[in-house]
Amino acid sequence: MTTRPYVLLSCAMSIDGYIDDATTERLLLSNDSDLDRIDAVRAACDAILVGAATVRRDDPRLLVRSDRRRAHRVARGLPPSPVKVTVTGSGDLDPKARFFALGDGAKLVYCPTGAAEKTREQVGEVATVVDVGESVTPAAVLTDLAARGVCRLMVEGGGSVHAQFLTAGLADELHLVVAPFFVGDRRAPRFVGDGRFPWHPGRRARVVEVRQIGDVVLTRYALSDRCDGG
């Protein structure tokens, strides 16, 4: 049996736990140094996953920015940037979104059978649409990614996908950055909503690193014994 990919969750939030505000503008939580750190983490992964709402709202590129890191990947026989991955239940994705339009690497879209036709109509020419059956689960996505040779997956949000990997017990490591301000608006999305998480007062996660990066703080949590803290 193929080992499931190592799963690293990455999130930036405000002091009061929001990952965005309630405006239509994208909220910048990280600073330049932290964005460079994230670039290094991306460069060390085989695939990056975000939810379809993040594709629609943030229109992220999800490419390795640094020339040096891209060259290093190519020298190792890898594509310049990791495979881009998203999940959708609606198929409501724009082929002109930067997720699809930028970068020559593979783009994978996981959807349930009920949305497969619409998803293929929308983005079938710019991505590989994977019908995973009745519903999309983190386990099904990981099984398929493993079969495609993905050993290390970075999950960059939003909250819905983070919550699913966490509650399924399918996360190995969490990089949580706290920005030094409050959002203070309950209409804004939080890191995760309600759920039965494997880490609770009776089972605390292990902190493997705390690092100040300019005005933000990164905490790295080990969420499984696959995370060695290195």
Ligand X SMILES: NC(=O)c1ccc[n+]([C@@H]2O[C@H](COP(=O)([O-])OP(=O)(O)OC[C@H]3O[C@@H](n4cnc5c(N)ncnc54)[C@H](OP(=O)(O)O)[C@@H]3O)[C@@H](O)[C@H]2O)c1
Q: Least distance in Å: CB of 151 to ligand X? A: 22
- 19 lies in the binding site for ligand X (CB under 6 A): yes
Q: Does 97 bind ligand X (CB under 6 A)?
A: no
Question: Toward ligand X, which CB reaches closer, 71 or 141?
Answer: 141
Residue in 97, 154, 189, 227 binding ligand X, rule: CB under 6 A: 189
What is the H or E stretch that residue 24 is in?
none
Rounded distance between C-alpha atoms, residue 164 and residue 138, angstroms: 7
> How far apart, in whole angstroms, are the C-alpha atoms of residue 11 and residue 93?
23
Please, what is the minimum distance in Å from the beta carbon of residue 35 to ligand X?
Answer: 11
Sign of CA dihedral 6, 12, 16, 21: negative
Q: Per CB under 6 A, does 12 bind ligand X?
A: yes
Token output for 82: 């990791």
Nearer to ligand X (CB atom), residue 156 or residue 173: 156
Contact pattern from residue 163 through residue 182 relative to ligand X, giving x for each residue in contact according to CB under 6 A and a dash for the rest = -x------------------
Place of tokens 């920005």: 179
Q: In the bound complex, what is the minimum distance in angstroms from residue 175's beta carbon to ligand X?
A: 10
Cis peptide upstream of residue 158 (ω within 30 degrees of 0): yes
- Which is nearer to ligand X, 72 or 120 (by Cβ)? 120
CA distance 24 to 58: 9
H or E element that contains 194: none
Residue with the two structure tokens 């696959």? 226
For ligand X, the binding residue among 129, 145, 161, 174 (CB under 6 A) is 161
Residues that bind ligand X (CB under 6 A): 11-12, 19-20, 29, 50-54, 57-58, 87-90, 92, 136, 156-161, 164, 189
